[in-house]
Amino acid sequence: MDWLWPALAIVLIVEGIGPLLFPTRWRLYLLQISQMPTNQLRQTGGVLVVIGVVCLFYLS
């Protein structure tokens, strides 16, 4: 459980870099995402979760 807070901090840093450095592009990116079909968003999220779990499995 000691890894949870540092991992959360890294996620916040990585997620904050886009809006901090490229706010206009970030806004356009979010507009594009908001217009994607729900199924496509769900599939993308599922793929990202699976990739994350596989990476976590191999790194630990």
Which pTM does this prediction carry? 0.70
Task: Look at the chain and count its residues.
Answer: 60
The predicted pLDDT at position 59 comes to 82
**Domain around 46:** 4-59
CA angle 18, 22, 28 (to 5 degrees): 90
Dihedral over alpha carbons 59, 53, 47, 45 (to 10 degrees): -120
pLDDT tens track, the chain, 60 positions: 788 888 899 999 999 999 999 999 999 999 999 999 999 999 999 999 999 999 988 887
The predicted pLDDT at position 3 comes to 83
Q: Of 16, 37, 60, 19, nearest to 8 (Cα)?
A: 16
Tally of domains in the chain = 1
Q: How far apart are CA 57 and CA 35, in angstroms?
A: 33
